């Protein structure tokens, strides 16, 4: 099992692992997103969510856009759930700049297998 956290001294997206049945012992596995994409400012990397999509793993995360100065959602891909994940896009995946930005990505898979990414606007950043 893998668990991901908001940025800290441990990296942009620190990751820890554990194995069943000893789920009480977690081991630091490094930084799942060691390099931020070109559109993102250092720090303020939040709310990581990882989904297995076929033979790859996809990391959805929040980072502050250099160009827009709001929090936006990025997407990065890796062959391993531990990373390294790479976002090679020149712009955020989702960014609702007019309503404060986009934060807290998560996903659901419907019973028929359809994948949905869900998130919310960051209206509290602009008092809406």
Judge whether residue 66 has pLDDT over 80.
yes
pLDDT of residue 123: 83
64, 72 Cβ separation under 8 angstroms = yes
Residue 40 contacts residue 74 (beta carbons within 8 Å): yes
Q: CA 101 to CA 103: how far, in whole Å? A: 7
Q: What is the largest CA-CA distance in the chain?
A: 47
Query: Average pLDDT in the 21-37 region?
Result: 91
Q: Which of the four pLDDT bands, split at 50, 70 and 90, describes residue 74?
A: very high
Residue 128: burial class (beta carbons within 10 Å; 0-12, 13-18, 19+): exposed
The beta-strand segments (E) located in the chain are 2-4, 14-17, 27-31, 46-53, 56-64, 71-78, 102-109, 115-121
pTM of the model: 0.92
Of residues 30 and 24, more confidence is placed in: 30
């Amino acid at each position: 099992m893998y668990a991901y956290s908001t940025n800290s001294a441990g990296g942009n997206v620190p990751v820890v692992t554990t194995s069943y049945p000893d789920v009480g012992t977690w081991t630091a596995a490094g930084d799942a997103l060691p390099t931020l994409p070109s559109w993102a400012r250092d720090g303020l990397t939040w709310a990581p969510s990882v989904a297995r999509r076929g033979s790859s793993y996809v990391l959805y995360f929040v980072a502050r856009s250099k160009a827009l100065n709001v929090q936006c959602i990025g997407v990065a891909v890796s062959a391993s759930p531990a990373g390294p994940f790479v976002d090679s896009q020149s712009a955020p995946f989702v960014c609702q700049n007019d309503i404060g930005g986009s934060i807290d990505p998560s996903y659901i898979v419907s019973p028929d297998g359809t994948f949905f990414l869900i998130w919310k606007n960051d209206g509290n950043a602009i008092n809406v």
